[in-house]
Amino acid sequence: MKNDLSSAKNAVYRLLNYRPRSEYELKAKLKEKKFDLSVIDQTIEYFKNTGLVNDEDFAKAWVNSRLNKPFGINRIRRELLDKGIDKEILKKTLGFASEEYDELAMIRSLVDRKLQHGVHSDNDKFKQRIYNFLLRRGFGFSSIKKVIDQI
């Protein structure tokens, strides 16, 4: 086990240089690097106090970035849970995002993009493929069905 606080801080700075991370992700990376648990706790506390690690800010930024891809709320929820975001933060962040997010419009734009590539929409195989594509992106079943039924 490593007991060096400055090495742990340097490791976190390197990780944060690539992209923002959740508290859970940072703890996991430090455990992977065999840092002592007390060093990990001190390091995370240091970064929380400096404001560089904040799960609420991380969740908001993640949701905004993923909605712009576009991904559905279901996928974003799953990703944030995998990143160890607390369920209360998740509920609040996704609730706020859901108010301003038009899932049907996003699905329509993705389907339109696919149709512009010359794929024929009267094909059942196309409908199945687009349905699976949209499900993988995390859109809701009922929203997908509404849009596909309109094709």
Residue 33's pLDDT is what? 94
In one-letter notation, the amino acid at residue 62 is W
| Cβ pair 139, 103 in contact under 8 A | yes
On whether both 95 and 107 belong to a single domain, the answer is no
Residue 119's pLDDT is what? 62
What's the angle, vertex CA 68, arms to CA 87 and CA 19, rounded to 5? 65
Residue 50's pLDDT is what? 95
On whether both 96 and 62 belong to a single domain, the answer is yes
Q: What is the pLDDT of residues 42-66, one digit of tens each?
A: 999 999 999 999 999 999 999 999 9
On whether both 46 and 65 belong to a single domain, the answer is no
Cα 1 to the center of its chain, rounded Å: 31
On whether both 75 and 114 belong to a single domain, the answer is no
On whether both 107 and 146 belong to a single domain, the answer is yes
- Residues of the domain holding 107: 103-150
Counting the structural domains of the chain, the total is 3
Tokens of 150: 């309109």
On whether both 107 and 79 belong to a single domain, the answer is no
pLDDT truncated to tens, each residue of the chain (151 aa)?
677 899 999 999 999 999 999 999 999 999 999 999 999 999 999 999 999 999 999 999 999 999 988 999 999 999 999 999 999 999 999 987 777 788 899 999 998 888 887 666 567 888 888 999 999 999 999 999 999 988 7
- Give 83's contacts (C-beta < 8 A, 6+ positions apart): 21, 22, 24, 25, 58, 62
